[in-house]
Amino acid sequence: MKTTLSILILSTLVIMSACSSKSDFPVSKVTPAADITAKKSKDGQGNYTLEIIAENLATVDRLTPPGNNYSVWIVTKEAGVRNVGKLNVKNTKKTTFNTTTPYDFYEVFITVEQKGDLEYPSGQEIGRARL
């Protein structure tokens, strides 16, 4: 019985990890100390979730040129580039971002913007990762 339960739990973990992908952003020329990771997974309703963890990311007002926010973008096959929110950097040691979208995406990138509700990126890109 214990062996069957262990196999079931292990199988569940393997299936769950197969449904997600994780990618590290390359070192940015704009924010070289930042260590940024993105994780994509699919939820039970068929939506896609995005989790970003950023460590040592400078606040946007300290950049050259300074900005007002970090915008998070996804690249999809069916809907092109989509703004999925802002990365709020309050504690530069560690910042997290989570969102859910109906669009399947294969790439995520972050830009420094003056406005947060843009439909298309216009600011400086700090990093891009393929998922």
Q: Is the pTM of this model over 0.95?
A: no
pLDDT at 18: 46
Instruction: For domain 21-130, give its CATH number from 1.20.1740, 3.40.1350, 1.10.1740, 2.60.40.
Output: 2.60.40
- 22-34 average pLDDT score: 94
Q: What is the mean pLDDT of the chain?
A: 88
- Give the residue extent of every domain in the chain: 21-130
> In the sheet that 80-87 helps form, which strands lie side by side, from edge to edge?
80-87, 69-76, 105-113, 124-130
**Is the pLDDT assigned to residue 115 strictly greater than 50?**
yes
Residue with the two structure tokens 């998070």: 72
pLDDT at 16: 47
pLDDT at 116: 83
